[in-house]
A = this chain, B = another copy of it.
Amino acid sequence: MDPNEFKDFSKDMTSFIVNYLENIRERRVLPTVEPGYMKPLLPEEAPQKAEDWQNIMNDLERVIMPGVTHWHSPKFHAYFPTAQSYPAIVADMLSGAIACIGFTWIASPACTELEVIMLDWVGKMIDLPKPFLACSGGKGGGVIQGTASEATLVALLGAKVKKIKQVKEQHPDWSDSDIVGKLVAYGSAQAHSSVERAGLLGGVKHRLLETDSKHQLRGETLAEAIRADKESGLIPFYVVGTLGTTSSCTFDRIDELGPICNSEEIWLHVDAAYAGSAFICPEFRYLMRGVERADSFNFNPHKWMLVNFDCSPLWLKDPTYVINAFNVDPLYLKHDMQGSAPDYRHWQIPLGRRFRALKLWFVLRLYGVENLQKYIRNHVAQAHEFESLVLADPRFEVVEEVVLGLVCFRLKGSNELNELLLKRINGAGNIHLVPSKINDCYFLRLAICSRFSESKDIQYSWQEIKTRADEVLKENSA
């Protein structure tokens, strides 16, 4: 493809994107295709000869769009938001053109240095304690991981290395596998599935601890679990505290978990994947009270801060242990400047990495902190608007305090009734929600997701839910 074709293609794609996004509200949020829909639409093999780019543009509505779930529709309320913005798309174009692999400083100094600085910017925006920031001049600093799953796993691996080292000092005769067999990690029963998965991947025992009546993990529960495990000869080494659980956006009590972890020499990782973005607004920072006791902190600007996936910053007070977990140092990756800037290959699971800090830089500058705060506050206000609508209808109940952009609600009545309601809502496909269940109580989750979402969309979604509830209740009473 020559440069002029690229210019035309890029221009045409830009128009397509604008047309797609600015009119996304008109599309059915959930596709109606069945598994295997695409196979008959495409040839069985790649073409031998080059095609014109116009062919691809013509195929987008025929092949791709019928199978797209429109995550950026204001009618999409499933999971949690994933971010998307024009500045981030343009930043990724530049990232794709420079296309460096920033595994070491020398492999592209700008890639490493912009990341260090951006993670200081973001850390300051959410008022993260200084020991986490590179600009503090200490050991601390941040790195962009691909996902919160990876951040949780990376921190776990760092914690594992640290604890093995500690235990070996006391028991030089114990082998690594003796020690690993005794290690135990903890998270709340409400933690994201990736927390349990990190334990699986890391090859260690992992306990899901019960939460209190507000679905928060409390200090006394952790303390009791640690006591029991130590009594059985196990070695507690890692705790994940969640700020903003996926099921219902509740908040573990970091202020209670921190002191226990510190005194027991257990690594405390804070997973604020969704909620972290809200901390750019001072009024939500009370939710991370006690964070100064944590060893690592992670959140996803690619969820709620308008930076396209993937961008999951992880801050570490002391990256040494993570670096030691991964450090394999072949000659072809060595360079003269080692030690004077981070070589991010030692901070993550993959070796390769894109120039992702550009997305942060573009978004932070082209929105500015004020507009990002406004964005968060606007979504939270819409969640409260929806909450009021639910509360005003006596057939419904709200099952969890609405703190940020998620409303957990249900029809008063059986789980089966609510399962039927959800099936009906998603079957109609005008809006999209997913369910959750806590302590055998099944409920629906409505997350404010789209950057196009307005009050009128909330009203529309509520009308749609009411219509489906009318149907279900009518059938049920018939």
CA A247 – CA B332 in complex, angstroms?
7
How would residues 45 to 56 of chain A score, 1 for a CB under 8 Å from any chain B CB and 0 otherwise? 111111101011
A180 interface residue (CB < 8 Å to B): yes
The contact sample of 8 A-B pairs, CB cut-off 8 A, is: A13-B93, A13-B94, A44-B124, A48-B370, A175-B181, A180-B180, A197-B351, A331-B436
Taking a contact as CB atoms under 8 Å apart, the answer to whether B196 and A328 are in contact is: yes
Contact of A7 among B15, B42, B308, B349 (CB under 8 A): B15
Is A435 close to B, CB under 8 A? yes
Check: A66 CB closer than 8 A to any chain B CB.
Answer: yes
- The answer on a CB contact under 8 Å between B72 and A149 is no
B109 near A67 with CB under 8 A, answer yes
Beta-carbon contacts under 8 Å, A303-347 to B:
308-310, 325-326, 328-333, 337, 340-341
- Picked from B36, B92, B331, the residue with its CB within 8 Å of the CB of A96 is B92
| Contacting pair B6 A86 (CB below 8 A) | yes
Closest approach, in angstroms, between the C-beta of A33 and any C-beta of chain B? 5
A267 at the interface (CB under 8 A from B): no
Is B310 a contact partner of A352 (Cβ separation < 8 A)? yes
For this complex, into which size category does the number of interface residues on chain A fall?
A: 35 or more
Q: Is the interface of A mostly helix, strand, loop or mixed?
A: helix
Does A434 count as interface, using CB distance less than 8 angstroms? yes
* B residues less than 8 Å from A56 (CB atoms): 361-362, 365-366
From 88 to 130 in chain A, residues with beta carbon under 8 angstroms from any chain B beta carbon are 88-90, 92-94, 96-101, 105-111, 113-114, 117, 120-122, 124-125
In the assembled complex, the Cα of A87 lies from the Cα of B12 at a distance in Å of 13
CB distance from A338 to the nearest CB of B (A): 10
CB neighbours (8 Å) of A200 from chain B are: 325-326, 328
* A77-85, A288-296, A385-393, A468-476 - the one binding chain B: A77-85
A401 CB within 8 Å of chain B: no
Give the complex CA separation of A14 and B201 in angstroms.
42
CA distance A281 to B65 in the complex (A): 33
Check A31 for interface membership: any CB of B closer than 8 A: yes
Assuming the contacts A86-B1, A107-B69, asked whether A332 and B121 have C-beta atoms less than 8 A apart, the reply is no
Q: A65, A113, A358: which has the most chain B beta carbons within 10 Å?
A: A113
How far is B177's CA from A88's CA once the two chains are assembled, in angstroms? 45
| Contact between A68 and B332, CB atoms less than 8 A apart | no
A352 surroundings in chain B (CB, below 8 A): 82, 146-147, 149, 302, 309-310
The chain B residue sitting closest to A324, CB to CB, is B200
Cβ distance A16 to chain B, nearest Cβ, rounded Å: 7
Contact of A437 with B by CB under 8 A = yes
Contact pick for A90, options B9, B194, B309, B310, CB 8 Å: B9
Question: What does the 1/0 interface line of A353-375 toward B look like (CB < 8 Å)?
Answer: 01000100110111111110000
Most buried by B among A100, A122, A329: A100
- B38:A117 contact, CB within 8 angstroms: yes
Instruction: Name the contact of A308 in the complex, choosing from B36, B37, B96 (C-beta under 8 A).
Output: B96
CA distance A64 to B365 in the complex (A): 15
Known contacts A37-B109, A200-B326, A200-B328; 20 further A-B pairs (Cβ under 8 A): A6-B90, A9-B86, A38-B117, A44-B120, A46-B364, A48-B370, A50-B365, A60-B94, A67-B110, A68-B108, A68-B111, A72-B99, A82-B352, A84-B96, A84-B97, A99-B309, A146-B352, A193-B351, A310-B354, A331-B435
A5 interface hit (Cβ, 8 Å):
yes
* A333 proximity list for chain B (CB < 8 A): 193, 434
Residue A10 interfacial (CB < 8 Å): yes
Q: How far is the CB of A179 from chain B (nearest CB, A)?
A: 10
Listed residue (A22, A46, A150, A354) with the most chain B CB atoms within 10 angstroms of its CB: A46
Q: Would A44 and B135 be within 8 Å (CB), given that A89-B93, A146-B350 are in contact?
A: yes
Contacts of A180 in B (CB 8 A): 177, 180, 203
CA distance A108 to B6 in the complex (A): 28
Quick check: B113 and A101 within 8 Å, CB to CB? no
